[in-house]
Amino acid sequence: MTSIAEPSIGTPIRRTESVAKVTGAAHYAAEHKPAEMLYCAYVPATIAAGTVTAVDTAAALDDPAVVAVIWHGNAPTLGEIDDTELLVMQSNTVAYRGQIVAAVVASSLEAAREAAESLGVDYDDRGAPDNELTADHPKLYAPESVNAGFPTDVTVGEPVSAVTSSGHTVDAWYSTAPLHNAAMEPHATVARWDDENSLTVWDSTQAPSGVQADLATLFDLEPDKVRVIAEHVGGGFGGKGSTRPNAVLAAMAARVTGKPVVFSLPRQGTFDMVGYRTPTISHVQLASDADGRLTAITHDTFQQTSTIFEFCEQTAEPTRHIYAADNRRTTHRVVALDVGSPRWMRAPGEAPGAFAVESAIDELSYALGIDPVEIRLRNEPSVDPADGKPFSSRSVVECLTHGAERFGWADRPARPRQTRVGRSLIGTGVGVASYPVLISPSTANARVEADGSIVVSIAASDIGTGARTALRQIAADALGVGADDVELRLGDSALPTAPGAGGSSGTSSWGWAITKACKALVDKRGSDPVPADGLEVTASTDDDIEGMADVSRMAFGAHFAEVRVDVDTGEVRVSRMLGVYGIGKVMNPRLARSQLIGGMMFGLGMALMEEGTVDTQFGGFANHDLAEYHVTACADVPEIEAVWVEENDDDLSPMGSKGIGEIGNVGSTSAIVNAVFHATGIRVRDLPVRLDKLV
Ligand code: MOS
């Protein structure tokens, strides 16, 4: 801490835990094996709606390996909590097929599974489920607000008359399929009661502090008596952004048996209860003058939630910020169906909403004969259209123009279906990316020992993003040392309380608290030697965030894609993708690139592959494994590039960072679908683009 090292922020250092991960030394939640641990398996409801009338536990309990059978008749009573999906086995009600109705705890996983599979559960089946989202469902309603607190409806000017009186309009319906969080590591928890009032869990979570708070509420414990450890997490995407039923069931099973218990969701279970992306329906109307300058935008959205928890995705939210127009309307309607609770999945709302509005503007560009990049440039707002506030920074124009040049956009034919090479129709498309800059209050601790070693601690979670590494870099710069000189501890709720890894807010939120703690430590130490028992500072950013300037903070970007569509089969291959972003300062270009291209691959999945198929007869989803639900792999796009323009924005965190986890997934879907139109002349408005929609 005496010499000023070269800045670490902005350098592409390797992941702190990379060797541990590839050698298997890194331990994930279910790999922890406390002494005398038992195994839990659950019974998923086989009806879509109704009640459990009886559970025959006798046969299971005859097996000497079976220690306990838990169902609503004997489950411990849980405390009240907002997320009612967590009230595991608290009543006889079945709200969706796949919901936990019973669980078996045994001395081996095999015995637990066998007993769970043969457990006799009787139901009163209410019959065929009401599980199909339609835009005219009689039970649609307007929620008080939508996810993350955004307003349900916003109307500015006279959108209806502006649309009716314009000669240049687009009026179209777009829909997206239910999508599933498919983290490589399924949700898993090991729970151990250390005594009657203190609980330790190893949980695969994006939010150790959040799980700590929820388990304390559910089991009526002091929060500091619950410790949640998530040292390594194999992906989350939002599905591990909040406490999930697996953590509750593991803690419950450990409570009932008095032994530590592991409960790992089988892959199929992750399709039922971890929160999927709701299907969405969007009705978009655009009106413009003959030059493509928008006079009106309306975006009315429809989505589903479950009968036990209201989650309304903010699907129209991106439309509020992307384009200028004097007359605007955005609305959200939701319906509670016999389905599992939808929840967060990477860029909730923003991703499906951007598909709709970025398809509509593309349709308008072809209708008017204006280049799709040019029409976007013409509708660039000078302030945030949502509230008239200035943007702290907004690089849409730079991203579009730089991207167009880099991608070779100018060479494309203006009209669709003009380029054929062999059996392939070739086309290119563009889509604007946007994502809010979210920052939440956090605390962090920085400590230096007498021997000079430095430890920075925070209850953050590294879900595979590289957060641990980026935070080390941030700490190093605040301390004036090299990144190698800092040990970064995270993934443990016993460390200073932090918000979860979500909303692309982790690095900015955690990094701000770390910067503050580290700078205060430097000041505290001054030029004196470190005392024998070390020195430390804990800092919190509540006031700093409260005091941020009243401006609009968003990350933006532009996605470009090239597709090749087989003329006979309709098979779509994406040959090139480019993302250009305005994302503030990048902490680590190696890690940022991997976040951004990961988001772009997510967008590709939404465009072409991923589709939860609703079982309208028996409830749930007909496809619930990775053989039938297709996620993208590297081979799905041979050439993918993510770059960023320079942004120096003083209205962000002290590091100058915007979020990067989700923006890659906003607008990339429409770039691909717009490219499919350019290749084929066929406009697909219902995702995913399957072969049958092109032939
Ligand atoms: Mo992300 S859907 O905010 O974890």
What are the structural domain ranges in the chain?
A: 18-27+440-546, 32-127+184-235+240-270, 145-179+276-437+551-693
**Structure tokens, 544:** 């700093």
Averaged pLDDT score across all residues of the chain: 97
CA distance 595 to 271: 24
β-bridge mates for residue 137, sequence order: none
Q: Which ligand 1 atom is at minimum distance from the Cα of 662?
A: 1
| Index of the ligand 1 atom closest to the CA of residue 240 | 4
SS3 state of residue 568: coil
Tens of pLDDT, residues 613-672: 999 999 999 999 999 999 999 999 999 999 999 999 999 999 999 999 999 999 999 999
Mean pLDDT of 281-291: 98
Ligand 1 centre distance from Cα of residue 346 (Å):
5
* Cβ atoms of residues 631 and 182 within 8 Å: yes
Residue 133 in tokens: 């989202």
Domains 32-127+184-235+240-270 and 145-179+276-437+551-693 agree in fold: yes
Q: What is the DSSP string of 114-183?
A: HHHHH-EEEEEE--S------TT-TT-B--SEEGGGEES-EEES-HHHHHHH-SEEEEEEEEE--B----
Residue where the block lists tokens 């190893």: 202
Note if the bond before 688 is cis, omega within 30 degrees. Answer: yes
For residue range 168-178, what is the model confidence (pLDDT) as tens digits?
999 999 999 99
Residue count of the chain, please give it: 695
Q: How far is the CA of 662 from the centre of ligand 1 (A)?
A: 7
Q: How far apart, in whole angstroms, are the C-alpha atoms of residue 559 and residue 433?
A: 7
CA distance 555 to 564: 30
The closest-lying atom of ligand 1 relative to the alpha carbon of residue 238 is: 4
Q: Are 588 and 11 in contact (CB under 8 A)?
A: yes
548 φ/ψ sector (left φ>0, alpha ψ -120 to 50, else beta): beta
Q: Which residue in the list 317, 398, 610, 662 is annotated as catalytic?
A: 662
What pLDDT was estimated at residue 597? Answer: 98
d(CA 650, CA 261): 49
Q: How do beta strands 198-203 and 226-229 pair?
A: parallel
Q: Ligand 1, residue 237: give the atom nearest the CA.
A: 4
**Cβ(4)–Cβ(179) below 8 Å:** no
What sign does the CA torsion over 68, 70, 76, 81 have?
positive
Ligand 1: which atom is nearest the Cα of residue 501? 4
Residue 317 has pLDDT above 90, yes or no: yes
Taking residues 269-278, what's their average pLDDT? 96
Sign of the C-alpha dihedral, residues 588, 594, 597, 599?
A: negative
Q: How far apart are CA 410 and CA 530, in angstroms?
A: 62
Coil vs helix vs strand at 245? helix
Model pLDDT, residue 525:
94
User: Rounded to an integer, what distance in angstroms lies between the CA atom of residue 386 and that of residue 464?
Assistant: 34
Q: Into which CATH architecture does domain 145-179+276-437+551-693 fall?
A: 2-Layer Sandwich (3.30)
pLDDT of the residue at 580? 98
Give the separation between CA 70 and CA 54, rounded to whole angstroms.
12
324-339: average pLDDT: 97
640 forms bridges with which residues in the sheet? Answer: 577
Tokens 């040959």 identify what position?
575
By DSSP bridging, strand 168-176 and strand 554-566 are unpaired
In angstroms, how far is CA 654 from the centroid of its own chain? Answer: 25
The CA distance from 476 to 483, in Å, is 5
Q: Is residue 193 within 8 Å of 221, Cβ to Cβ?
A: no
Quote the ligand 1 centre to 575 CA distance (angstroms): 28
Neighbour tally for 628: CB within 10 Å: 13
d(CA 593, CA 20): 21
Summarize the confidence of residues 343-372 as an average pLDDT.
Answer: 98
Contact 640, 391 (CB under 8 A): no
Pocket of ligand 1 (CB under 6 A): 206, 236-238, 241, 344-346, 348, 502-503
Contacts with 633 (C-beta within 8 Å, 6 or more apart), sequence order: none
pLDDT tens, position by position, 179-234: 999 999 999 999 999 999 999 999 999 999 999 999 999 999 999 999 999 999 99
Which tokens in the block code for residue 168?
């240049």
Counting ligand 1 atoms within 8 A of each CB, the residue from 662, 663, 665 with the most, and so the one to mutate, is 662
Q: What is the pLDDT of residues 130-143, one digit of tens each?
A: 999 999 999 999 99
pLDDT of residue 613: 97
β-bridge pairing 424-436 and 420-421: antiparallel
User: Residue 602 above 60 pLDDT?
Assistant: yes
Reading the block at residue 162, the tokens are 């502006």
Vertex 575 angle, CA 587 and 688, to 5°: 90
At 5, the pLDDT band (50, 70, 90 cuts) reads confident
Decide if pLDDT at 405 tops 80. Answer: yes
Would you say residue 2 has pLDDT above 60? no
Q: Is 487 a catalytic residue?
A: no
pLDDT of residue 26: 96
pLDDT at position 684, please? Answer: 98
* Contacts (Cβ under 8 Å, ≥6 apart) of 240: 181, 183, 187, 204, 205, 206, 207, 233, 274, 463
Distance in angstroms (rounded) separating the CA atoms of residues 457 and 447: 8
Nearest to 375 by CA among 363, 365, 387: 365
Cα separation, 445 vs 496, in Å, equals 7
Nearest to 210 by CA among 344, 43, 334: 344
Instruction: Tell me which residue of 347, 277, 206 sits closest to 662, measured CA to CA.
Output: 347
Phi and psi based region of residue 140 (left: phi greater than 0; alpha: psi -120 to 50; beta: remaining): beta
What is the distance, to the nearest Å, from the Cα of residue 520 to the centroid of all Cα atoms in its chain? 33
Positions of E strands within 388-423: 420-421
Q: Which two tokens stand for residue 437?
A: 């800059």
User: Residue 178 Cα, ligand 1 centroid: separation in angstroms?
Assistant: 16
**Residue 1 pLDDT more than 80?**
no
Q: Is the pTM of this model over 0.95?
A: yes
For residue 553, report the distance from its CA to the centre of ligand 1, in Å: 18
Q: How far is the CA of 653 from the centre of ligand 1 (A)?
A: 20
Residue type, 241: G
Separation of 479 CA from ligand 1 center, angstroms? 30
Tell which one of 181, 346, 437 to mutate to probe ligand 1, the residue whose CB is within 8 A of the most ligand atoms: 346
pLDDT value at residue 456: 98
Tell me the C-alpha distance between 348 and 146, whole Å. Answer: 11
Computed from CA positions of residues 228, 234, 238, 243, in that sequence, does the dihedral angle turn out positive or negative? negative
Q: How far is CA 348 from the centre of its chain?
A: 6
Q: How many Å lie between the centroid of ligand 1 and the Cα of residue 347?
A: 6
- How would you write 436-492 as a 3-class SS string? ECCCCCCEEEEEECCCCCEEEECCCCCCCCCHHHHHHHHHHHHHCCCHHHEEEECCE
pLDDT in the model for residue 395: 98
Whole-number pLDDT of residue 25:
96
Contacts of 314 (CB under 8 A, 6+ apart): 146, 147, 148, 150, 332, 348, 349, 350, 353
Best mutation site among 244, 344, 438, 465 for ligand 1, i.e. most ligand atoms within 8 A of its Cβ? 344
Residue from 172, 386, 452 nearest 286 by CA: 172
Cα-based distances in Å from 287 to 81, 159, 269, 294, 478? 45, 9, 45, 6, 50
In terms of Cα–Cα distance, which of 370, 412, 398 is closest to 576?
412
Pick the atom of ligand 1 nearest to 345's CA: 2
Please determine, for the modelled complex, whether the ipTM score is greater than 0.85: yes
Share of the chain above pLDDT 90, in %: 99
Burial of 574 per CB tally in 10 Å (0-12, 13-18, 19+):
buried
**Per-residue model confidence (pLDDT) at position 3:** 57
- Cα separation, 657 vs 650, whole angstroms: 10
The atom number, within ligand 1, closest to the CA of 502 reads 3
CATH of domain 18-27+440-546: 3.30.365.10
Q: How far is the CA of 206 from the centre of ligand 1 (A)?
A: 9
- Fold observed for domain 32-127+184-235+240-270: Aldehyde Oxidoreductase; domain 4 (3.30.365)
Q: Indicate which residue's Cα is closest to atom 4 of ligand 1.
A: 238
